[in-house]
Structure 1
Amino acid sequence: MSEPLTREELDALDLSDAKWGSDTSVLEGEGMEVAYLKGGAVAMRKANEPSSVLRYTKGEWTAFVLGARDGEFDLG
């Protein structure tokens, strides 16, 4: 596996060849798409707004996923 990307490298990364995966709600014009990038980085975008992309370093993505699993983002 390649070395983790720095924030600067991630922000400069060309995503034109990224392979986007999605959940089933994309079929209805909604939902999120995710692309796994080199160095363990991840890009995420709304299916109906493909030009608006969030980019996460490996560390940021790991923290997000673990926080979601631990309920950090529960609204209730």
Structure 2
Amino acid sequence: MPRTSKKISSYKLKKLKAQEEPCHCCGKDDLFFAYRCRCSFTICQDCMDENVWGMTCNGITWECPDCSEQNGFGNQ
């Protein structure tokens, strides 16, 4: 009896696609963790550590350099 493939939801497809995007600063692929903006800007942890001085003023939020959107670090 053949197995039927389950339909993947659009939410899951969007999430899987976001995980495939490389870091916009260093170009590293296959990131375990990355900060992502809604505009699809992606930055890895190492690059964020190097550039945090220019992306945040309070240590709670960071500003996306592409769209100027405020994003949280997730530390609240």
TM-score, normalised with respect to structure 2:
0.29
The structure that is strand-richer by fraction is: 1
TM-score, normalised with respect to structure 1:
0.29
Q: Look at both structures and tell me which one has the larger radius of gyration over its CA atoms.
A: 2
